[in-house]
A = this chain, B = another copy of it.
Amino acid sequence: MEHIKDRKILIVDDEPDIRRMIEGFLRKEGFYRIYAAADGGSALSVCRADKPDIAIMDVMLPDIDGFELITAIRQFSSMPVLFLSARGEDEDRLLGLGLGADDYVVKPFLPRELMLRLMAVLKRVYAPAVPESLPCFQLGEYKIDLELATVFHNEEEIALTPKERGLLLKLYENQGRIVTSDALCQAVWGDDAYSYENTLMVHVRRIRAKIEQDPSRPKYLLTVRGLGYKLVVKE
């Protein structure tokens, strides 16, 4: 999941105009994975089948009350839900939030407000658990600080890019051991392991340019032919 706008959104409302309005606005804002449903029944099956990342739903639906719907959804999913409601009653609001709704917008609303709240919920719920601190270690005269994404060498500070940092982290976690190319790709690019072999080599080359005296005869980041790479930390 690269971007917040890659999230899948389900819109549940029985009024076609509202559905289209919301969908249109969200698309204009850059969301592109949008589902829609007009009633609770189909909403429920979309939730099961497509597993959207968030649902925007009207409280009043033709076949089922929104609060019952969220209860049903909670049986199998903890996806965030943002309610739309024409009523301004506080009981509804509290009930909704109490049942696990994440926010609540009163109709009529400005598209922008819906947007703000949607983004807020997505950020809150899917906020990446950032590891507090990343390691810092020495390679001969080179000091590698992954926290600062920086290599220190001879008074110089050389910045590391995110990919370089990710690769070095994976290698450092397995220092002295061989890390397969697949494992490295997995660590940096995620599960969909396409043919990143070549790309990986290029990145390794770039890392070597930053942490090796002679990048062509590496001392620290070694190639293990046929298997992968290995980071040698000890002197």
Contact = CB atoms under 8 A, between A and B. Distances in A.
A195 interface: yes
Given A90-B105, A109-B90, A123-B193, A149 B161 contact: no
A224 B120 contact: no
B148 A178 contact: yes
A230 B195 CA distance: 35
A147 interface: yes
Given A90-B105, A106-B88, A226-B161, A178 B149 contact: yes
A159 B123 contact: no
A123 B194 contact: yes
| Category for how many chain A residues contact B | 35 or more
State the oligomeric state as a number of copies: 2
A134 B175 CA distance: 17
Nearest to A230: B148
A232 to B, nearest CB: 9
Interface string A82-107: 00000011110110000000000110
From A112, A119, A178, A224, name the one whose CB has the most chain B CB atoms within 10 angstroms: A224
A51 B120 CA distance: 34
A52 interface: no
A36 B160 CA distance: 48
Contacts of A177: 147-148
A162 B88 contact: no
Interface string A211-235: 0000000000000111100100000
Interface of A: 88-91, 93-94, 105-106, 108-110, 112-113, 115-116, 119-120, 123-124, 130, 147-149, 159, 161-162, 176-178, 180, 191-195, 224-227, 230
Interchain residue pairs A-B with the least CB separation, the first 6? A119-B194, A88-B88, A120-B192, A162-B226, A90-B109, A90-B113
